Each structure stands twice: as C-alpha cells, then as structure tokens.
Amino acid sequence: MDFKELLAYKKSFQLAMEIFELSKSFPLEEKYSLTDQIRRSSRSVSANISESYRKRRYVNHFISKLTDSDAENSETNVWLEFSFQCNYINKDVFDDLNVKSIEIGKLINYMIHNPGKFGCIV
C-alpha cells in the first residue's frame, strides 16, 4: 500500500487544500504571519504522515513522525481559532474545519497506538 491510500493522509491533504483556498482571502497584512503559518502547519500534517509510513520498518521512527504530525495538526487548529477570532472565517467554516482537524487527530492517534496494522514490526 502507498501512503497516499491512508485515510489520515487523504483527509489531512484535503484539509490542507481547503485551508489553502480559504487563506487566499486573508488580509495582506497576515501574509507572513497567520497565512504562512496555517498553510505550513496544515501541509506538515500530510508530509509527516508520509514520512512516518516510509519509516514504518522502525516502530519508534514511525511513532515519532506521527507524533510530529499530531503536533502540526494541533498547531493548525490553533491557527484556525485565530482565523475565527480575527473574523477571517465565520463560525460555520470554523466548525467544519475544526471537526475535520479533530477527526484527523483521532486517525493519527489510532496509527500511533496500532503500528502493527500499518506494517510496523512490533
């Protein structure tokens, strides 16, 4: 199986793309702070999942990269909260993206706690 088939990867990639499109409407003065930060952290979730899958031969490396992915997902959630509080996104958009972020976190944590199901030798 390829990492692109992992549900956590698919959902995190989709969320990153939604955030990218949404962040195009953020104010120009946020370009080097909020906009860049939320794009970077949301993309890092998928990137770290892909790295973890390639390192699945070593369970500790697999878990370490997934932990990084989970941290980036949490950071993305904070930037979403800032986006909402600064009125760059409305409550419905925030709620939708927040639910997706929480679901991704649950999928990542499932992978962390079940490395054997993802090809790791435990």
Q: How confident is the model at residue 82 (pLDDT cuts 50, 70, 90)?
A: very high
**For all residues of the chain together, what is the average pLDDT?**
96
As a whole number of angstroms, the distance between CA 78 and CA 94 comes to 11
pTM: 0.95
Own/partner pairs, 64-72, CB within 8 angstroms, 24+ separation: 66/108, 66/111, 66/112, 67/112, 68/44, 69/8, 69/12, 69/44, 69/45, 69/108, 70/105, 70/108, 70/109, 70/112, 72/41, 72/42, 72/44, 72/45, 72/48
Residue with tokens 């909260």, as numbered in its chain = 81
**Which CATH code fits 3-115?**
1.20.1440.60
The pLDDT tens digits for 8-50 are: 999 999 999 999 999 999 999 999 899 999 999 999 999 999 9
Q: How confident is the model at residue 72 (pLDDT cuts 50, 70, 90)?
A: very high
Q: How confident is the model at residue 119 (pLDDT cuts 50, 70, 90)?
A: confident
Residue with tokens 């904070």, as numbered in its chain = 78
